[in-house]
Structures are given as C-alpha cells and as structure tokens.
Chain A
Amino acid sequence: MKNIKILGTGCARCRATEALVKAVAQEKGVEITLEKVDSLPEIIKHGVLSTPGVVIDGRVVHAGGVPTRSEVEGWF
C-alpha cells in the first residue's frame, strides 16, 4: 500500500496529475491511498516550489507541471 499526496491548490494541472496517478496505479494493480493537499503551509513545508507536486510515502518525487505517463509508471 502506497500513500500518495498530490500537492496543489486545485488548478487544472493538479487534477490532471491526480487522474493520471490513479489511472496508472490501477493499470499496474498497485494499491494506493490518494490524498489531496491544498493547504499552502503544508505544500511549502514539503519544499515544493511549483505545483502540482507528488509525494509518495513522505518523499517528494515530482514538482511542477503534469508528470509524463512513463515517469508515473516508474514510481510504481
């Protein structure tokens, strides 16, 4: 079970990132818990400078822009 956080204040790119992560996880049969973080102090504490950011099990794996599909596949 992987815990995934999507950091972002609700922009279109954040929603696209969320949908992509969900789709890839399902495809690969990986169980995940998905959490959306939209509080600014919380986002900043992760050290992310540009959103959307993706955090897996407490580690920032991506920041800024929608990740590519192959990048997301590499996380699982």
Chain B
Amino acid sequence: MNWSTIAKPSAQLRQWLIGLGLGIVLWLAAYSQLTAFADALVSAAGLSRQTHFGEAVHFFFYDTPKVLLLLTGIVFVMGVLQTFFSPGRTRALLSGKREGLGNLLAAGLGIVTPFCSCSAVPLFIGFLSAGVPLGVTFSFLISAPMVNEVALALLFGLFGWKVAGLYLAMGLLVAIVAGLVIGKLKMERHLEQWVRDLLAEPIEQMTAEQLSWLQRLRAGGAHVREIVGKVWPYVLIGIALGAGIHGYVAEDFMASFMGRDVWWAVPAAVLLGVPMYTNAAGIIPVVEALIGKGAALGTVLAFMMSVIALSAPEMIILRKALQPTLIATFAGVVALGILCVGYVFNWLL
C-alpha cells in the first residue's frame, strides 16, 4: 500500500499544499518561457520562421503548451471553486429570488456550478420544485453549458483576454435576457403533464455535505484529470490544423463568405451550429483558423455560441420535460440573442 493513502488528513493536506506551491512555480516558469521554447525547437530542427513550414512548426510548438498550461490552470481553479457551488447550494441561493436579479444571479452561478447536459432534466425540475421561477431556471440552463471554463481558457489562450472577456459578457447577457423573456411569456403550462404532477407535490430536498479543503483540492485534481484528459487530443488536432492553415492558406480566404460585409453570414452561422454538437475544445481551434483567414469575429462567435448552447441532442433531452412550444420558444429566443451578439460584434469591431 502506498504510504500516502494511510497518512493522516492533515499530513495529506500539507502534501497537497506543497505540491500546489511547486506546481504554481513550475507553471509560471513554463509560461514565461513559451516563446523561447518554440524558438529553440525551431532552430534545433534547422528550420527558419521565414519559411511556411518553419512558421507552422513554430506556431504549433508555441500554442500547444500555452493552451494546455492555461487549460490545466483554469480547470484546476474551477474544479476547486465548483465544490463551493454544488447544484443543491446554487438552487438554495436562487430559490425565491425575483425575476431580474434572479436571472442575473442564475447566469453568474451557471459559470461556477458543475453541469452536465445529461442531468439537465432532474436539475431543471429540481430548481422549479424549490421555487426558482421558470425564467430564472432558463437563465441558468443557458449560461451553464455556454459560458464554461474550457471555452474561456481556449479563447484566452488563442485570442487574448479581450475576446475571452467579450465572450463571457455576451454569453451572460444572452442567458439573462433570454431567461427574462421566457419568464415574461408565462409558459409554465407548457411543461409536460408528468412534470406538473410532480411539481404539485413536495419533493425531497437533498442537503449539501460539508467538504474539507483536502477534498476540495482533490476535486480540483480530479477535474483536471477528467477535463484535460478528455479534451487534449482535440486541442492538439485543432492546433495542428490551425498551424497548417496559418502557414499555407491565403490570408483572406474566408473573408468572401464569412466576412463582416456579408449580411447573411450571421444567421447562416447560427443555423449551421444547431445540428453540430461538440465541446468547446473541439470547436475553438476551428474558430481560430476561420478568424485567421478573414472571417469576422462576430460571425464566428455566433457560430460557436450556437454550437454549444443550441445543440440538437440537448433539446431532445429537454423534450422529455418540455412541450414542443416551450422548446421552440427557448431555441427561438436564444437564437435571436446570439444573432444580435453576432451583428453587434461585426458592427463594433
């Protein structure tokens, strides 16, 4: 047996903290040497950045460690943060909140509460049963998958903090406004009959357990293993693809059909995104390649939001609890919001 598994919790916590401190120092050291690392590799291979191939190789060996470092750091912090916001706790925070403030809070909590679309229905009904208004519940349900740490880490790594911040702000705005609109439409009677029957009687409310710091740090580690372990191949393939396009495809290749002057590009991007279902890691490197070749930022962000927030499989899951009218309203309101974001971005930038 490994000695650490029989050590006392306090000793284990000390090990974790020492490991974490070392990890932070190594992380910062590695992050500060990214360009030097890529330069050294390119010159060690006898390549020059003046050539297409050399530039593509440099791009790959600069972006890959950068994105993986950012992803690991942000996912770890998020994994620890999520232990403070279990779905039960978030529900308690939202219960009885009025519309308006409630929508704002719900969209914000959507970022830090762990969410998997496979449990969208139990969560949805659990929120309603605790007295969270329908519109507020929708704000949460829109924000949780759309504004997630993987999307933010990748956008930050590949486009910088401005684009990541804009995505965050716009994602929250769409979630808040769409939830407000759905709330105003008073669509409670468009829930399936079994849901309304269930809501008529009291449902057992689970109380959240108290976690120690050791458990929280462990949760962060587990989150990194799960998320980074799952998405790294997408990141690698995406960046390799991006590197190839970066080196070889003509600069304004995308401008003719995804440029800002093409008025129909935004709705086309939103429609195209609906049947597509992938995680943020799979879509963002493609997004980067599109932007690099002259596609407009608003159009591409609209595409990305549509792929993540308006996925056909999630609607099929929600269909079990919502009648078609409510599903259509939900999709319509969110699509309209994303459309506005796309146009505003293209017009502003």
Contact = CB atoms under 8 A, between A and B. Distances in A.
Contacts of B206: 47-49, 60, 63
B121 A50 contact: no
Given A40-B121, A63-B206, A64-B86, A49 B126 contact: yes
Interface in A33-71: 40-41, 43-51, 60, 63-65, 68
A40 B91 contact: no
B319 to A, nearest CB: 12
A49 B205 CA distance: 9
Interface string B30-66: 0000000000000000000000000000000000000
Interface residues of A, number: 20
Interface in B170-225: 194, 198, 203-206, 218, 222
A49 B198 contact: no
Interface string A1-43: 0000000110101000000000000000000000000001101
A40 B122 contact: yes
B114 A65 contact: yes
Q: Mostly helix, strand, loop or mixed at chain A's interface?
A: loop
Interface string B319-349: 0110000000000000000000000000000
Contact of A68 (B87, B121, B222): B222
Contact of A50 (B116, B129, B198, B205): B116
Contact of B198 (A9, A44, A51, A63): A44
B202 to A, nearest CB: 10
B152 interface: no
Given A41-B198, A44-B126, A45-B198, A51 B119 contact: yes
B88 interface: yes
A63 B218 CA distance: 17
Interface of A: 8-9, 11, 13, 40-41, 43-51, 60, 63-65, 68
8 contacts: A9-B118, A13-B116, A40-B122, A44-B129, A47-B203, A49-B87, A50-B114, A68-B218
- Give the 3 A-B residue pairs with the shortest CB-CB distance, closest first: A47-B204, A49-B87, A11-B118
